[in-house]
C-alpha cells in the first residue's frame, strides 16, 4: 500500500473498525466477551454486577487497557491493585487494541473504565477527526483524569540506515494496531511531514518489535509513556535508533494537530540511546461512560489518586494536581466530586 491510497485505506478501515466497536460487537449479548489480544493472549471480557453469597452484591468493573507491550496494560494492573485494596470493587483488566477500540467498548457498555488518548477522546465526543467517529459522536463518553504524556516514539534498528523522518520514504512501517490511537497519530505525522510512499503494517508494540528483529519492517511507531516495555526489550538485544521528530517536522505536526505537544525522551531511557531525543506527545487519560454511578466513579478515582505513592509507573506525572491538564472532554460528575472536594 503506497502513496495516497495509504490514507484513504486507513480512513476506511478505521471507520469500519470504529463503527463495529461502537455497535458493541465484543460480547454485548451477555457472552464472556473474551478475545485474543495483539500478543496472542486470551483476555477475559467478564464484567458487570454479580450476586454474592447471602444476597450481597459484588461489584465487578471492566477496565480496558491496551497491548501488553505498552504502558496502558501494566499501569492498569497497578490501578487494579490500588482500587481493590481500597474499595469493594473488583477490576477486570483486559488487553485491547487501545484508544479507538476502548472508546467503542465504553460506548457500548462492554467497558466501565478505559485508558485512551486525549485526542481520540475529543474526536469521539465531537464526532469528528477520523471516520470511526465522523458524524457518529459518542455522547456518553466522559472523562475521569489525565495521567501522563504519551510519547510518540519512532523506532528502528541501526542497520536500516534510517536516522531521520525523511528516510521513511519508501519504507515498510508498522503504524500500530488497526484502528488504534497509535495508527491515527502515525498517519497524521507521516502526512504532515510529507511521507506518502510507504507500505503499512498493523500490529501491537510487541509484534512490531519482533518484526524489527526479523527484518520484516523498517520502522515502527509506538505511542506510550517511556520507557515502553517492548522497546526496552528490543534495545537490550539490538542496536536501536530512535528517530527524532524535531525542527520543522515537529512544527508541521503540531500545526496540523493541535493536541500534539513537545516532548523529549531522555538519554539513557533505552539501552544504547545515550542522547536526548526530541519528539512530540499526546496525553493518556482515564475515561468512563455516563451510565456509571457517580459514587462508583468517585470511589475509583479516589482510590487511584489517594494512593499514587503505591504506583511504580509514570509516578513523575500522575497526581491529583495535574489530573485535569489536557482534559479534552467533559468530566464525569463522580470525578468532578473528587477533584472539587
What phi, psi does 289 have (nearest 5°)?
A: -125, 165
Q: Is the separation of the CB atoms in 173 and 219 below 8 Å?
A: yes
The confidence score (pLDDT) of residue 130 equals 79
Q: Looking at mean pLDDT, say which of 43-47, 97-101, 182-186, 273-277 comes out highest.
A: 273-277
Res. 118: pLDDT tops 70: yes
**Portion of the chain with pLDDT greater than 90, in percent:** 72
Mean pLDDT of 97-113: 95
The confidence score (pLDDT) of residue 219 equals 98
The confidence score (pLDDT) of residue 25 equals 32
Which residues contact residue 53 at a Cβ distance below 8 angstroms, ignoring those fewer than 6 apart?
none
Which residues contact residue 211 at a Cβ distance below 8 angstroms, ignoring those fewer than 6 apart?
174, 201, 203, 217, 220
H or E, element range at 119: helix 118-126
The residue that leads in pLDDT, 19 or 309, is 309
Res. 221: pLDDT tops 80: yes
Res. 44: pLDDT tops 80: no
The confidence score (pLDDT) of residue 341 equals 82
Mean pLDDT of 186-193: 96
Res. 312: pLDDT tops 90: yes
Distance separating alpha carbons of residues 112 and 129, to the nearest angstrom:
24
The confidence score (pLDDT) of residue 49 equals 38
- For the chain, domains (ranges, CATH) are 5-12+150-282 (3.40.190.10), 15-148+284-339 (3.40.190.10)
The confidence score (pLDDT) of residue 235 equals 97
pLDDT category of residue 58 using cuts at 50, 70 and 90: low
Amino acid at each position: 500500500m503506497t502513496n495516497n491510497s495509504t490514507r484513504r485505506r486507513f480512513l476506511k478501515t478505521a471507520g469500519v473498525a470504529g463503527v463495529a466497536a461502537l455497535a458493541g460487537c465484543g460480547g454485548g449479548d451477555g457472552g464472556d466477551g473474551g478475545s485474543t489480544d495483539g500478543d496472542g493472549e486470551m483476555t477475559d471480557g467478564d464484567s458487570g454486577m454479580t450476586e454474592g453469597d447471602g444476597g450481597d452484591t459484588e461489584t465487578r468493573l471492566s477496565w480496558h487497557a491496551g497491548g501488553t507491550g505498552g504502558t496502558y496494560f501494566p499501569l492498569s494492573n497497578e490501578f487494579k491493585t490500588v482500587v481493590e485494596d481500597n474499595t469493594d470493587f473488583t477490576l477486570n483488566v483486559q488487553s485491547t487494541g487501545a484508544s479507538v477500540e476502548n472508546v467503542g467498548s465504553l460506548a457500548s457498555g462492554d467497558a466501565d473504565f478505559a485508558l485512551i488518548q486525549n485526542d481520540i477522546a475529543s474526536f469521539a465526543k465531537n464526532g469528528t477527526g477520523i471516520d470511526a467517529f465522523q458524524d457518529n459522536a459518542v455522547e456518553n463518553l466522559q472523562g475521569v483524569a489525565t495521567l501522563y504524556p504519551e510519547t510518540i516514539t519512532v523506532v528502528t534498528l541501526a542497520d536500516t540506515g534510517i536516522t531521520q523522518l525523511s528516510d521513511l520514504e519508501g519504507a515498510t512501517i508498522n503504524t500500530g494496531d488497526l484502528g488504534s490511537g497509535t495508527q491515527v497519530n502515525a498517519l497524521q505525522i507521516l502526512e504532515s511531514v510529507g511521507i506518502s510512499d510507504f507500505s503499512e503494517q498493523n500490529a501491537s508494540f510487541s509484534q512490531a518489535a519482533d518484526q524489527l528483529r526479523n527484518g520484516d519492517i523498517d520502522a515502527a511507531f509506538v505511542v506510550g509513556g517511556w520507557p515502553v516495555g517492548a522497546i526496552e526489550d528490543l534495545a537490550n538485544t539490538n542496536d536501536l535508533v530512535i528517530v527524532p521528530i524535531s525542527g520543522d517536522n515537529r512544527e508541521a505536526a503540531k500545526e496540523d494537530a493541535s493536541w500534539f505537544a513537545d516532548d523529549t525522551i531522555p538519554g539513557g531511557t533505552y539501552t544504547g540511546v545515550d542522547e536526548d531525543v526530541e519528539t512530540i506527545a499526546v496525553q493518556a487519560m482515564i475515561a468512563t461512560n455516563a451510565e456509571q454511578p457517580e459514587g462508583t466513579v468517585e470511589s475509583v478515582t479516589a482510590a487511584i489518586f489517594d494512593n499514587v505513592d503505591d504506583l511504580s509507573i509514570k509516578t513523575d506525572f500522575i497526581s491529583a494536581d495535574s489530573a485535569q491538564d489536557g482534559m479534552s472532554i467533559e468530566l464525569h460528575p463522580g470525578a468532578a466530586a473528587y477533584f472539587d472536594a
